[in-house]
Amino acid sequence: MLKGKKIILGISGGIAAYKCGELVRQFIQAGAEVRCVTTHNALEFVTPVTLQTLSRNKVYTEVFEPVGVWNPEHVSHADWADCMVVAPATANIIGKFASGIADDALSTTFLAFDKPVFIAPAMNTKMYDHPIVQRNMDILKGIGVEFIEPTEGELACGVVGKGRMEEPENIVAYLNNKL
């Protein structure tokens, strides 16, 4: 059950980010608390105001806060949360995670996180099937990260195939079964 759970929702820069408002809303309705951590590219598809309004929490987008504010948020978020969900997860963020690259708010939070992580990929079918992306996912699976597989259907680019981020209600159901 998600009631009382604290969830970090990591959002990377894919078109499926438009579904994140609904995902936050459903997490809240299920009784969870949510904090959103985004990449800069995610903000091309969804606004901090939307995420902040729905989650009732500040959205973490920067590794370094303005002078006068001290709080290593990538560590404090990791301590606060029970699990981390990355949806959508682009090929780029999956590659950063698998390579240990920490150069934005989301990748630094991931590397500081030592609790269950669930990743919902979303990308073009050719990208999803690419051997490097599959290898990066295997690396992450090898350290215990769980993947919520993308579905087949029409993608934003017009191609029909596997790569659509799982629907928010199915992500919530998946977590309900796992937590």
Residues recognised as catalytic: 157
User: Which H or E run contains 89?
Assistant: strand 83-89
Per DSSP, 91 falls in state H
Q: Which residues contact 14 (CB under 8 A, 6 or more apart)?
A: 42, 45, 88, 89, 90, 122, 123, 165
What is the phi/psi pair of residue 134, to 5°?
A: -65, -40
